[in-house]
Amino acid sequence: MSSNLRKRSVVSSFICTPPNSPSGFTFALFKRSQDVSTYRGKWAVCSGSIDKTDLSPAAAAKREILEETQLSDCDISLLRRGRPFSLIDEALQTEWTIHPFAWQLKEGANQIKFDWEHIEFKFIKPEDLSSYDHVPQLEVGLERVVVSPMTQKALTALRNDHESGAQALALKALDFLLEAARSEELAGIWSSEEYWKELRWRAWHLAKNGRPSMAAAIESSILNALEDIESHVSEDGGGKIATCSLSRLTSIIESVISSKLDSGASNLDPIARSFTDLILPETKGSDKESRTSMNITTISASGTVRTGLLRAIPQLIAQGIAVKLTVLESRPNFEGASFVNTLLDQFQGDSDILNKLKFEIVSDASVANAVKDAHFVVFGGDKVIPNGDVSNKIGSFSLAAIAKTVSPACKVVAMFETNKITGSGFDSEYLAVEENDPDEIINAWPLVLQSDLYMKETLGAQVKVKNEYFEWVPARFVDHYITEKGLWGVEEIAKAAAELEEREKRLFGEL
């Protein structure tokens, strides 16, 4: 094998019909023209090199799709991404690293209009690919974006669940993995190695393609389960997967995942204790005189924040400190109002606390007023990347940034479990903001306004309603990170992220 191979990273995009469409899952296959530099006349999917200016492989894929088909974000959405793989073409003296993606055509999408790189295209079923003279290892890329019916059902359920928090979604993903292990889809496999490989493929897709904005907790839970399964196999006579009988392997898988599901939600008490330990000393002002009040501002309905406040508030009040809790209402689903209601349920009947506890529910737009007298701003984290940036409910960035501008002495605190840390943070596709149904925003408007705007749109007005759920809070606006392991800094976060990367490589590396 030559050591002088040129290395190229490329994207390979399968433009698909929805899996539940009448024709089933099909994808667009293009015949390459004689004007391209490689694989003339071969059948391929929309592909191209990843340029230095591309923010991520996904960004490169969308750029190539737009260039080659004139389809834009208005026409396609990311259905799933596949695990990258490499191939060597000795004839071209090239080592290709291929990043496969499946993009689903949206309802009402424009027609494909191919450019000079292709001379025709057609939609085909995955099983028909072998009938075409296609570019090398296109079938490998296809295998990496096509999933089983059960896996597709699980991914859809995770992606469409906008009610569950990150930890609940992680447990749901584990439950789907257990269902896969028990399913008829794997019943025909007789080799432990092959069974373990197929199960890990399903685990990989659940981790990476379920709910990307909350993927950190899902990834961590799945990696922990897979590691525990391997550990149990190793302890069971010192064997490996290959030497473990299939019946014993499936028994271990059942036991490990069931145990994790039975243990349920995480223990947030260590985070609550650390938060309380952080906040209580602040009852002494900068002049060391005791404060008579403590003002805390938060957003959304983080279970981690709730647990911290339920511990800290009674202790503050026991020291004679009156507490004002200001909560942004958190559109579009008003989780902030629900958060206040839940806290009131917890303190119901406790007049000692309620007499000293004042709640304010304010609009997201009044964030500057909400933080002008705040001592602490606290929020949860659905995903944390190695540089310390935190993804949380939309509005969190504004809350933190304005707090540090309007009231520099205010302490901004992010509270999360370490399973929210991801090692994939510097790939910008992980930084993408999740958008959801715009009707969640529109339905809060007066009906007359909704009707009037709709009419203007039908007459050609271009109006897009964006319903973004999450955003990133840069590390420079965060004073403290609180985890179940105590008060952390960016160094500890980066170390945990690196360890996660290594675990992922070991468990999925040879797939």
In CATH, 6-145 is 3.40.50.11690:
no
Reported confidence tier of residue 92, pLDDT bands at 50, 70, 90? confident
| Structure token digits, residue 223 | 């990696």
* pLDDT beyond 90 at 167: no
The rounded distance, in Å, linking the Cα atoms of 410 and 430 is 29
What's domain 151-265's architecture? Up-down Bundle (1.20)
* pLDDT beyond 90 at 267: no
pLDDT in tens, 8-30: 899 999 999 988 888 888 999 99
pLDDT in tens, 129-166: 999 999 989 999 999 999 999 999 999 999 988 878 78
Reported confidence tier of residue 431, pLDDT bands at 50, 70, 90? low
Question: What are the start-end ranges of the H helices in 236-245?
Answer: none
- Closest to 122 in 3D by CA, of 31, 35, 40: 31
* pLDDT beyond 50 at 366: yes
- Taking each continuous run of H as one helix and of E as one strand, the counts in the chain are 16, 18
What was the pLDDT predicted at 404? Answer: 96
Query: 349 near 269, Cβ under 8 Å?
Result: no
More reliable by pLDDT, 267 or 248: 248
- Closest to 325 in 3D by CA, of 404, 272, 341: 341
Reported confidence tier of residue 6, pLDDT bands at 50, 70, 90? confident
Query: 437 near 467, Cβ under 8 Å?
Result: yes
From the centroid of its chain, how far is CA 323? 34
Lowest mean pLDDT, pick from 15-24, 55-64, 175-184: 15-24
Provide the CB-side half-sphere exposure for 420 (13 A, CA).
27
Q: Strand, helix or coil at 74?
A: coil
- Mean pLDDT (whole number) for 350-366: 96
* pLDDT beyond 70 at 86: yes
* pLDDT beyond 70 at 506: yes
Domain spanning 269-431+469-502: CATH superfamily: Translation initiation factor eif-2b; domain 2 (3.40.50.10470)
Reported confidence tier of residue 2, pLDDT bands at 50, 70, 90? low
Reported confidence tier of residue 465, pLDDT bands at 50, 70, 90? very high
| Structure token digits, residue 377 | 């701003």
- Closest to 378 in 3D by CA, of 270, 255, 296, 261: 296
Reported confidence tier of residue 426, pLDDT bands at 50, 70, 90? very low
- Mean pLDDT (whole number) for 288-295: 80
Lowest mean pLDDT, pick from 242-246, 319-323, 343-347, 479-483: 242-246
Reported confidence tier of residue 265, pLDDT bands at 50, 70, 90? low
Share of the chain above pLDDT 90, in %: 77
pTM of the model: 0.84
Lowest mean pLDDT, pick from 75-79, 317-321, 432-436: 432-436
* pLDDT beyond 80 at 498: yes
Lowest mean pLDDT, pick from 87-96, 274-283, 307-316: 87-96
Q: What is the mean pLDDT of the chain?
A: 91
User: What is the per-residue DSSP string for 95-148?
Assistant: EEEEEEEEEEEPTTPPPP---TTEEEEEEE-GGGGGGS-BSTTHHHHHHHH---
* pLDDT beyond 80 at 288: no
The rounded distance, in Å, linking the Cα atoms of 130 and 201 is 22
Domain ranges of the chain: 6-145, 151-265, 269-431+469-502
- Mean pLDDT (whole number) for 54-60: 90
What was the pLDDT predicted at 142? Answer: 96
- Mean pLDDT (whole number) for 184-199: 94
What was the pLDDT predicted at 1? Answer: 47
